[in-house]
């Protein structure tokens, strides 16, 4: 799994202590979920905003990116854009729990990757 640019595990842990509402989503992700709904993605997006700007009132990474760049002179690409973040969250959930979380099961139960953000074009 990849990491957030410039943010380590300790900082993510500290952010989690500030954003307790994502605990239920993290718990959900640790189980064999079949999908992430929009409310989950929105809460995780807000968690990412707080990781990069602890005092931000923004709930969208797109607005947070703009504010960090325009008002705090931070690199514009420090936070991923919203579409990339949502795809990354889906990919990470699919890979981490659906695939690796069932690696020891003789008959894993999986849905296709298309349900988690990937798309099929021809043979690829």
Render pLDDT for 36-60 as a digit per residue (tens, 0 to 9).
788 888 888 888 888 888 778 888 8
Domains of the chain: which residue ranges? 9-116
Task: Give pLDDT < 70 ranges for the chain.
Answer: 1-3, 32-34, 76
Residue 34 confidence (pLDDT): 67
Short-list 76, 73, 94, 86, CA closest to 39: 86
Residue 1 confidence (pLDDT): 47
């Amino acid at each position: 799994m990849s990491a957030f640019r410039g943010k380590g595990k300790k900082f993510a842990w500290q952010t989690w202590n500030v954003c307790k509402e994502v605990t239920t989503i993290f718990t959900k992700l640790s189980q064999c979920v079949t999908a992430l709904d929009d409310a989950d993605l929105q809460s995780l997006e807000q968690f990412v905003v707080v990781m990069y700007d602890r005092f931000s009132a923004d709930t969208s990474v797109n607005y947070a990116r703009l504010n960090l760049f325009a008002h705090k002179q931070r690199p514009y690409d420090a936070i991923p854009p919203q579409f990339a973040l949502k795809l990354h969250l889906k990919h990470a959930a699919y890979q981490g729990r659906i695939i690796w979380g069932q690696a020891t099961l003789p008959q894993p139960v999986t849905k296709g990757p298309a349900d988690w953000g990937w798309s099929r074009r021809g043979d690829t």
